[in-house]
Structure formats: C-alpha cells, structure tokens
Amino acid sequence: MTVSHRLSEEREKLLRALEESPGDAELMIRMGRLEFSTGRLDEAERLFRDAVRIAETAEGLEGIGTVLNRQGRYGEALPFLKKAVELDPTRASAWNSSGEALGNLGRPGDALRAFGRAVQARPEFAVAHYNTGLALRAMGRKEEATDSLRRAVRLRPDFPEALHALGGLLHAAGRYAGAMECFRAVIRLRPDDPGAHTSLGAACQMFGDLKSARDCYQKAVELAPRYPDAHSNLGTVYQGLRDMDAAEACFRRALEIAPGHKDALAALAANMDRRGRYQEALSLVENHLDDGNVELVITAAQILRHLDRSEDAEALVEKLLSRNDLTASERQRLQFVRGDVLDQLGRYDEAFEAYEAGNRAKPVRFDREEHRADVDRLLEVFSELDWPDLPRCEDPSERPVFVVGMPRSGTSLVEQILACHSMVAGAGELTELGQAAIELGRDQGLRFPDSMRSASESRLRQAAKHYLERLRVVSADARRVIDKTPANHLFVGFIQNLFPRARVIHCVRHPLDTCLSNYFQNFAGQGIPFSYDLADIALYYNDYLKVMEHWRRHASVDLLEVVYEELVDDQERVSREMVDFLGLAWEPACLSFHRSDRVVATASHAQVRQPLYRSSVGRFANYREKLGPLVDGIDWKAWERSGFAARVAEHLPAAAR
C-alpha cells in the first residue's frame, strides 16, 4: 500500500467519524494534522480553529500556530504558540514551533531560549537540536552551533537538513574532510539533490581534490542542467585544473542560463584578465557597471589597472562609493581597491587614508592578550626542558615541505618557484596541520599546545597519516609537496614531532614592508585578525620573531631561511639554494616561475604572475610618516638578533635606509 493510498484511507475514516461526532475536538485535531501533512493548509487551519472553539487545548493551539508558521504568518502564529506552552510547559513541539516563529521574526535570542525549552522538555528531540544550531549560527556562535547540529545528527542520522547545515559550518571553519563526510551522507539520503552535490563539490574544491570537485559539479549539472551556480562552480574547478578554455565555457553556459548571474560574469572577466585578454575582459563587464554590483566593479578596476588606466579605475570606484545603499562590507572592500588604485597612481597619502578606512570597517578584532598568552604557553610546552618528554610520531616521510613566516613575506613566491620543479607540487595553504593540532585534545577539553603533554603516540601517528593522505590528494607522485600556510611557524615543534625528516623554509622580509603589506591586504574571512590595526600587527610581528628565535635555538628539524630581498636581487642563487635544500637536482624551469600556469589561490596571485620586480622592496618609504605605530611597536632589538637586519639593509633602495 502506497503512502498516498494509506493517507486517503485514513482521511475517509476520519471524515466518517466526524460525521458521526461533529463536535469532537480531538477528531478535528487529528483531521487537521492529516490535512497539514498533505499540504491542505487552509483546511487544516479551519479544523484546528474549530477544535479550539470547542476546547482550548495546547494541542489545538499548537496546530493553529504550526499552520500559520508554514504559511509565513509568524506574527499571527506566536500568540497561539505562546498560549499553548502556557497551558502545557512540557510541550516540546510547541516550544520548537515558537522558536521557529521568533527566529523568522528576527529575534534569534528569544528563539534560542524557546528551542532550549524544547530540548529541556524532550532531550531526544532532534529537530529542536537542529533549530538550536541554526539559531546559534545566526548569532555567530559557530562552535556551539556545530555542537548542536552534531547532537541532532547523532539522534537522527537520516536528517539531511541537519547534515547539510553541519557540513556548511565545518566547511566555513576550514574542516573540509568533515564537511565532505556530511555532504556525502546527504547524497546517500537524497541522491538526486543538486544542491548537495554542489556543496560536496565546494568542499572537495577547498580540500584540493579538484577532480572529485569536478565530478560533483558535473553531477549537479546533470541533475539540474539549468542550475547556473553548478556551471559557474564547475568553471572555477576547471580554472584550478588549468583548463582555462573549459572554465570559460562553463562561465558562458551559466550566463546563457542566467544572463544576470553576476558571479559568473565577474568570474569570466577575471578568467580573461588572468590570460592577458584585458580589453576583451573589460568589454564583457563595462556595460554592467552601472548595476552597482561590487564584484563586477572590483574586477573591472583590476582590469583597468592592468590596462594602465588607473585614473579610470579610480573614477569607477569613487562613483560606486558615493552611493548610499552600499552595505558596510561592500564599502569596506571598495576602500581597499581604492587604496590599491591610488597607490599605483603614487598618491600615497590618499591611498593610506583609503586603506585605513577599509581596515577600520573590517568587523574583526584581535585579542592581543590571548595571543600573547598562547605564544608564551607554546614556548613553555616546547621548551628545552620539556620538549624531549613530549610524545612523538617520527614518521619517516620526507614529502612535507612547510613554507612559513609572516603573511606577505614571500611565501607564495617561494612556493611558485619550487613548484616549477618537476618533482615538487605546491598545495597552497592547507588547514590540515592546524586542524590536527586543534583536534589533538578536543575529547579531553585541552587546547594545543597543552594537549601535546597527554597525546598518545598513536594519536600523533593518526594525525601524520591524515596529513600525508592530504598531500597525496595534491599529488600522488611528487617527491616534495609544499604547504605554504604562513601561520605554520607556530607549529614547527609539532611538525618536528610528527615529521622529523620534513623541511621548513622560513621566509623573511623587512619588518616594515611585511607589516605594511599586511595592512594593505583585505584578507578573506577572519583568519588573520591582527592585520587590520598597525599596533596589532606590530605585536603579532614581535611574537613571530620570538617564536622563530625559539625554533632557531631549539628545533632540530631542517630549516632554511630565505630573505625576500636577496631572492629578488639574486633569484638564481637563492632558488638553487632552495632546490638543493629539498635534496633535488637543479632545473632551469624554476627561473621561469612567472610563466607557470599554476593557479595561485592566495592574496599574492598577481605578483607571482610577473617576473621578479623590486618595487615591493622598501615600499614602506612611501608611507614612512604614517607608520608611527609600527616603528614604535616593533621590537627592533629582536630583529637585529635574528641576524637578518644587515642582510636586508644591503638590498634596500636609498629612500628606505
């Protein structure tokens, strides 16, 4: 018997019962639930209201509120639901429906309290845990949201909405392996859901498994041929696979389906821009710039700069900034673009003001005390006295190469040079090492590095195994794979205990050039919170110097320190030193890194497309009068102790000495 046939029989049975007992409120409620389940909302509402007129019960009041919620009439629903929980405070489903109404009315705090009452009344209520997670997510409490969604999934493993929401949070946190697991579970439950395939594709893409991402997006396209997002996302994957023609075809297909798809239009223009088709790229977007789409204006400004039309780029950005309907985030992004344009025009005071405005508007704050305490704890745990007693895995692999340092210190350049070697693969910035450190003591409630004291060797072996599996996704046959996450300088001790035969390349650049470049970069997301205030940057920089001085003294892992200014002035010598450090034979292709078709996914992608140039060396001299918080805040004695001060000074232009 089919579900529809069973419901039809149940309906006939209830109708006969109501004919015999037309004033039976309980029968009306049962009939109302049946009509609600089949989508006959008007009839369900009538039945619930008739039942409440006969007897005002929590069950009937909840029925009215639930129907009104489904119809989007949240303000009308709330009084009925409130009355229902007053009559029966243990009615978990009514509390849950109240929370849904409150959340949709823009009251996430009240919604969270209602969902809490639902969970209190029925701890095994998976939907209430799910809704709690959504409310916490809306309030920015993402870790708590993740925990609530995990509880929902544990209680009901076949809950696709909860699995998808959990996957989304894990994806946003950079925990791509966990996100992929969630999205695959959704697909097992809903194999024909194009959105689930698209989400899995996005997670695979961020994980670096571009071929799997391509397969996911292709499946989404197969299931929904007119789903423009899937075509556009597939284009970004082909771009990553270095098939720029296929990428272009995907972006164009997305635009055929949805001519107003701004993301696809901007992506297509950026595709052309990266291939040097500047005029064609500009022609594509210039008729859409009056629409006020920020992504298109930013793309167009970049193209205009490449065409040496920075004045036009400035006019375009200024026009959009004059509008009153921009969001705070859009205005903030445009200020950084304005700063780039004005810097290129040599109008340094105005450029600094634009960067300053963009940084002030970034909704990110850096906790100096917490960071300093974390660094002190790191150096204590990995001290000369305690480090030998920490557990270690000692995996013999020589594949991992970690390029570390401050952001904007030359890490992308070093990776790009080395990745031109036939035996080297560049993985970009991986999250796995930091995530492994976080997970190390999660089940004991311990944070890294304290978790190192109680970690088992088997746990470390598992972390090493997972990391090497991640490198195999990047390349199955490269002898060396580069992870260029700058903040891995905090994990050199962890690296040594996992991979004693790994290699670490530390990138060094003049403190003021490094710090200023951080201040001028609008980093994506909130992963580099110190970079939006000059005093914060100085403090972080000092702690970075302290950490690297510690590793230099006490670490035994192989460490090569590369000075950016020396690399710029003597590329071949320094490049040969780096290749030799990796234990590989020299290949001349490393000198032609700017001709590589590797896709660089970090903030330095434009620079590594050009031959080495000196304009970034001593750039701080253009802004010297603005740099008081940096000049006063940097620990210059520590910089001198590092041994790099004199080496860097030799390569600075006269204006920067």
Using one digit for the tens of pLDDT, what is the confidence trace for 386-406? Answer: 999 999 998 899 999 999 999
- Averaged pLDDT for residues 491-502: 97
CA dist 258 and 55 (Å) reads 53
In the block, which residue shows the tokens 């780039």?
Answer: 340
Q: Pairing state of beta strands 400-405 and 558-563? A: unpaired
Please choose, from the candidates 129, 206, 136, the residue with its C-alpha nearest in 3D space to the C-alpha of residue 173: 206
CA dist 89 and 96 (Å) reads 12
Q: Is the preceding omega at residue 363 within 30 degrees of 0, hence cis? A: no
- Token output for 642: 């590092």
CA dist 103 and 245 (Å) reads 45
- Averaged pLDDT for residues 57-75: 93
CA dist 212 and 190 (Å) reads 19
CA dist 437 and 409 (Å) reads 24
The fraction of the chain above a pLDDT of 70, given in percent, is: 95
Domains of the chain in start order, with CATH, are 372-623 (3.40.50.300)
Element (H, E) at 203: helix 194-207
Q: Whole-prediction pTM value?
A: 0.74
What DSSP state is assigned to residue 290? G
Q: Which of 22-26, 185-189, 301-305 has the lowest mean pLDDT?
A: 22-26
Q: Are 518 and 406 in contact (CB under 8 A)?
A: yes
Q: Are 416 and 606 in contact (CB under 8 A)?
A: no
Residues ≥6 apart with Cβ < 8 Å to 534? 515, 519, 627, 629, 630, 633
Sorting pLDDT into bands at 50, 70 and 90, what band is 594? low
Element (H, E) at 558: strand 558-563
Q: Which of 29-43, 111-125, 400-414, 501-515 has the lowest mean pLDDT?
A: 29-43
CA dist 464 and 399 (Å) reads 12
- Averaged pLDDT for residues 221-245: 90
What DSSP state is assigned to residue 532? G
Task: Indicate whether 656 pLDDT > 60.
Answer: yes
Say what the pLDDT of residue 210 is: 83
Say what the pLDDT of residue 205 is: 87
Q: Are 466 and 432 in contact (CB under 8 A)?
A: yes
Say what the pLDDT of residue 626 is: 96
- Averaged pLDDT for residues 303-329: 92
Q: Which of 5-9, 27-31, 403-407 has the lowest mean pLDDT?
A: 5-9
* The Cα angle at residue 336 between residues 286 and 600, in degrees rounded to 5: 80
In the block, which residue shows the tokens 């949070």?
Answer: 169
Q: 337: burial class by Cβ within 10 Å (0-12, 13-18, 19+)?
A: buried
Instruction: Using alpha carbons, list the distances in angstroms from residue 451 to 369, 434, 448, 457.
Output: 21, 13, 5, 12
CA dist 73 and 69 (Å) reads 6
Sorting pLDDT into bands at 50, 70 and 90, what band is 608? very low
Q: Which of 161-175, 190-204, 522-536, 539-553 has the lowest mean pLDDT?
A: 522-536
Task: Indicate whether 180 pLDDT > 90.
Answer: yes
**Range from 39-43, 156-160, 289-293, 614-618 that averages highest in pLDDT:** 156-160
CA dist 482 and 411 (Å) reads 10
What DSSP state is assigned to residue 87? H
- Token output for 296: 């298109």
Mean pLDDT of all residues belonging to the chain: 91
Say what the pLDDT of residue 596 is: 53
Sorting pLDDT into bands at 50, 70 and 90, what band is 592? confident
CA dist 208 and 625 (Å) reads 42
Residues ≥6 apart with Cβ < 8 Å to 119? 92, 125, 128, 129, 132
Residues facing residue 507 across a β-bridge: 405, 562
Sorting pLDDT into bands at 50, 70 and 90, what band is 4? low
Spacing of C-alpha 263 from chain mean position: 18
Q: What is the dihedral of CA 629, 632, 635, 639, to 10 degrees?
A: 90
Task: Indicate whether 427 pLDDT > 70.
Answer: yes
Instruction: Using alpha carbons, list the distances in angstroms from residue 28 to 35, 46, 98, 217.
Output: 10, 9, 22, 47
Spacing of C-alpha 281 from chain mean position: 27
Residues ≥6 apart with Cβ < 8 Å to 407? 486, 487, 518, 521, 523, 528, 531, 603
- Averaged pLDDT for residues 617-624: 95
* The Cα angle at residue 642 between residues 640 and 648, in degrees rounded to 5: 70
Residues ≥6 apart with Cβ < 8 Å to 646? none
Sorting pLDDT into bands at 50, 70 and 90, what band is 75? very high
One-letter amino acid for residue 19 of the chain: E
Q: Are 65 and 81 in contact (CB under 8 A)?
A: yes
CA dist 657 and 653 (Å) reads 7
CA dist 200 and 645 (Å) reads 47
Say what the pLDDT of residue 218 is: 96
- Averaged pLDDT for residues 228-240: 91
Task: Indicate whether 607 pLDDT > 60.
Answer: no
In the block, which residue shows the tokens 């991402």?
Answer: 213
Task: Indicate whether 362 pLDDT > 70.
Answer: yes
- Averaged pLDDT for residues 564-572: 96
- Averaged pLDDT for residues 119-127: 96
Say what the pLDDT of residue 598 is: 47
Say what the pLDDT of residue 283 is: 93
Say what the pLDDT of residue 260 is: 86
Say what the pLDDT of residue 350 is: 97
One-letter amino acid for residue 213 of the chain: A
Sorting pLDDT into bands at 50, 70 and 90, what band is 329? confident
The string of DSSP letters for 131-178 reads HHHHHHHHTT-HHHHHHHHHHHHHH-TT-HHHHHHHHHHHHHTT-HHH
Say what the pLDDT of residue 616 is: 87
Sorting pLDDT into bands at 50, 70 and 90, what band is 126? very high
Q: What SS3 state is found at 594?
A: helix
Sorting pLDDT into bands at 50, 70 and 90, what band is 609? very low
CA dist 176 and 171 (Å) reads 5
What DSSP state is assigned to residue 453? H
| Angle (deg, nearest 10), helices 534-554 and 511-519 | 130
CA dist 52 and 37 (Å) reads 19
Interval 260-284: pLDDT, tens = 899 899 999 999 998 889 999 999 9
Task: Indicate whether 535 pLDDT > 80.
Answer: yes
- Averaged pLDDT for residues 99-124: 95
Interval 457-490: pLDDT, tens = 999 999 999 999 999 988 999 999 999 999 999 9
Say what the pLDDT of residue 610 is: 53
Q: Are 560 and 404 in contact (CB under 8 A)?
A: no
* The Cα angle at residue 424 between residues 577 and 270, in degrees rounded to 5: 105
CA dist 402 and 408 (Å) reads 16
Element (H, E) at 402: strand 400-405
Q: Are 248 and 235 in contact (CB under 8 A)?
A: yes
Q: Are 518 and 407 in contact (CB under 8 A)?
A: yes
CA dist 623 and 534 (Å) reads 13
**Three-state secondary structure of 327-374:** CHHHHHHHHHHHHHHHHHCCCHHHHHHHHHHHHHHCCCCCCHHHHHHH
CA dist 93 and 340 (Å) reads 54
